[in-house]
Amino acid sequence: MSLDVRGVRREFALLERELGGRPLAYLDAASTAPRPRAVLAAIRAYHEHFTANVHRGVHALAAEASDAFEDARHVVAAHIGASAAELVFTSGTTEAVNLVADALRLRPDDEVLSTCVEHHSNLLPWRRHARVCVLPSLADGRPDLGELARCCTPRTRVLAVHHASNVLGSIAPVRQLSAFARSRGLLTFVDGAQAAGHLPIDVRVLDCDFYAFSGHKVGGPSGIGALYLRQGAQDALDAPRVGGGMVARVEANGCEWKSGVQRFEAGTPNVEGALGLAAALRFLRAQGARAIELHGRGLSRQLLEGCRRLPGVRVLGPTSADERIPLVALALPSSGVDAETVARTLSDAFGVLVSAGRHCAHPLHDQLGVEATLRASAWIHNDEDDIERFLDALAGLLA
């Protein structure tokens, strides 16, 4: 079944907004996605009908809020094929990477095997605790599986990889990577920030130990995210933060941690965020994961074909739409206007919203020898007309 894009578009109030008298072509979903009305309604319902803290109170509203929060955990876990007992709410992908990197008891001479494509959030938290070693890439930026054995040493503890790149749009071969990691006794951490809104995900099939994503990139609110902790990997983790909510009992000189995922959720959680995230994922489920994937592939194809026709423009990443999410980063001709100016002009003169810069991936831009890129990233609310408007406007600016 294909995605009902017109119906989907009606669910985004943001698309009613105009810029300079033009409707928005919102092509910046990789930065943050627009929120469907169902998300706004879920947050509002919490504020208007059952505001209460969770797992602390005994009154009726506290029970309702706690039930809704745990129900949200089930929905979020199901989105990635996990069980609720393996799903920790975080503030986003960045916090999730930090949580695992802090909790793993790494030593400074331990090694984390990663790629040069990673977002800073899947690089810097590891660097604080261990030596990060870079797996070489193929020409299109995807990890070179043939180099895995050479790059893995007796000190390698973790393989930390993106599922989809926020610059190249490439989908990494996570199954093959995690199979290698498993055969060498490494733990696999997958940064799913850019994949979770586009691809069907099953952490059991991916066979990773940790999988993280952010609410605001799947239509949920900011400040909420999810972290899958494989049941068998949880014992390898210290609780990185301590305080209320994660202890079963505290005495004058000691305490007993709660068991399970609540051990990793100290303090009052972002209740409305969790409810909003669950509403976003229910909305995605109603559209169908496969339909979303195919819609994305169609937009990818259109973006790739259109961008290839732009004179002097280099399209980064894989050449086939089958290997990508609907996101293209472009190196513009060095003789022309810089990417930031182009992005601002696209916004103000054409109502086309894209991003420009180094997209929190400085090492990748350095390796590619590109100062900055212009990035268009589409999602379920985008149609062919949005992509055409972007391509036409950009062609005009580069002419």
Ligand X SMILES: Cc1ncc(COP(=O)(O)O)c(C=O)c1O
Exactly one of 171, 193, 332, 370 binds ligand X (CB under 6 A); which one?
193
Q: Which stretch binds ligand X (CB under 6 A): 91-99, 139-147, 259-267, 381-389?
A: 91-99
CB of 312 to ligand X, least distance (A): 27
Exactly one of 11, 28, 111, 191 binds ligand X (CB under 6 A); which one?
191
| 28 lines the binding site for ligand X (CB under 6 A) | no
CB of 364 to ligand X, least distance (A): 11
* Count, residues near ligand X per rule CB under 6 A: 12
| 166 lines the binding site for ligand X (CB under 6 A) | yes
CB of 13 to ligand X, least distance (A): 22
Residues 221-250 that bind ligand X (CB under 6 A): none
| 119 lines the binding site for ligand X (CB under 6 A) | yes
| Inter-helix orientation angle 271-287/289-308, to 10° | 80
CB of 31 to ligand X, least distance (A): 6
Which residue, 272 or 383, is less far from ligand X as judged by CB? 272
Q: Which stretch binds ligand X (CB under 6 A): 130-138, 191-199, 368-376, 384-392?
A: 191-199
| 263 lines the binding site for ligand X (CB under 6 A) | no
Q: Among this protein's residues, is 307 annotated catalytic?
A: no
Q: Which stretch binds ligand X (CB under 6 A): 188-196, 226-234, 241-249, 284-292?
A: 188-196
Q: Which stretch binds ligand X (CB under 6 A): 89-97, 102-110, 263-271, 274-282?
A: 89-97
Catalytic residue, candidates 116, 133, 151, 360: 360
Exactly one of 94, 114, 302, 347 binds ligand X (CB under 6 A); which one?
94
CB of 45 to ligand X, least distance (A): 24
| 382 lines the binding site for ligand X (CB under 6 A) | no
- Report long-range pairs for 3-6 (Cβ below 8 Å, ≥24 apart): 3/287, 3/288, 3/291, 3/292, 3/294, 3/295, 3/380, 4/287, 5/295, 5/380, 5/381, 5/382, 5/383, 6/383
CB of 295 to ligand X, least distance (A): 20
CA angle 326, 364, 204 (to 5 degrees): 55
Beta carbons within 8 Å of 184's beta carbon, 6+ residues apart:
152, 156
- The binding track of 334-373 with respect to ligand X, each residue x by CB under 6 A or -, is ----------------------------------------
Which residue, 28 or 86, is less far from ligand X as judged by CB? 28
Residues that are catalytic: 360
Which residues bind to ligand X, rule: CB under 6 A?
92-94, 119, 121-122, 162, 166, 191, 193-194, 214
